[in-house]
Structure 1
């Protein structure tokens, strides 16, 4: 399997993360790259750099207002007297239709959903090349490869069209799916991260040309809390084109695979001819977020189950945080797919 990665993704180095009222080190560390590269190489991936597709495929999903914000906000933030080292919001509008301020502080609140997406000096560059990584890997699949892996960091599935959140800035899986659709394919996005892909759902919620399926910890007591419930099925033309499969905390291999089977059946019924897998490895039993209890062997079974659909598949990296087994879990998933 071929893999895509760009060295500029190292440049995003977030420091801060608010959890339960405490200021903690951000879990989405550059060191994740090293472990994921090790896992990709263990799966015999040939790793190469992406090509630059420009801003057009990104702007197909993200508003120009939001992209202007992401590109410029760090520089603007540094002009604020005694500003912190990272852009972190402290106020938010009640609704997306509320007034749009000129203030950098106000715009941060408008475009950042939470305190888990701090913007630093290298954030825009890393996010841009993370998206280009997904696009280049999508080209491999569109060009005839049965599978490809995009090592995207920062991740993307919590990013809406004009809103960052949960470590995410640009919705890499969504950008790749739209790119594939523009090439005449019929994509389904399958999100197996322990957290619901709320940004992905939001982007495609009123559309019937991209199916979105997400398996995740029940948001009634788990991030992102406000999205990911089973009754969220899409709206307008998109009604019935969004499937959420919330699962209890502590879900193990067998229960996860049973839910995955339902998701794969929906993908087959949609008539997809390509799958974009938003590959979160944080469902692992030893992941710092402690949501599910999927084992390394279980990730191999997940990869094999996806392969049984017999469709070209693009794996786009989402979550999965620092633990000794992170690379092993990636290798198990990709190898499970290849062997099946």
Structure 2
């Protein structure tokens, strides 16, 4: 059996990029006519009968669903596994694409869709978008959507209740100075997790203290700086709820760096339950969201849209649950905590 020709083969033979091949075969603006002719000649020469590019040129369909992520971090990896499982018995293949070369650069979804739509993918799942909407001629579903109003289907976890459970759990352990490391403020999940944190404090009769909140942006490097600042204030928290597990892990690293023992000196709880959360010598307490199911439900939505079928619901919210582990415990006595604070 002869080797299947790919779009990368076409790009190499034509001496252009994959993006240029995509634009050329779709007649998009920005490619010189001589380049378009060269690309089309290569397509004909290579006998593209089974390739995605050739089939899309003939039928305007590829049979491929794209998952667009800013970065292949643990949350996105679990989403991809869920999408893959949901598509296993369907007629659609999966293409995973990281469209942000600079972390969370705004608008990476639009650039990615411009490159992939019509030639490589028939529909897309966008994970943690940076914009309210992404104009496209193909069906789209967003996972962990933006705070702004978007006219596309969305799938997310119950961030409000999850954050409420995490904070209430720390309160029930006896903590009253509870810090919060917030996520990306442009994502609905981050806004709801802060609301859940504040709600649980209010229900416990604890006054919200803005000095106990820092923004970690869901990113380890930013979270480390935020955690250090939070633990250096005159009266630091005895417990911290982080809006995602990567931020919680960053808190653990900072605590170790400045000589705090977890959970004796500081309790830490995250949100996600990524695989890494249970693999530490002291496994991380967290709020579990069904990440693989998020991907699976988004994939099911796309398949229905591609088949021209109505969606049972356009905005799906999945439940979360508390997973207590080794990084949370009741606070130390006032005298012991004071000694710990002086060491910081």
Q: TM-score, normalised by structure 2?
A: 0.30
Bigger relative contact order (CA 8 A; separation at least 6) = 1
Q: TM-score, normalised by structure 1?
A: 0.30
Q: Which has the larger radius of gyration?
A: 2
Whose helix proportion is higher, 1 or 2?
2
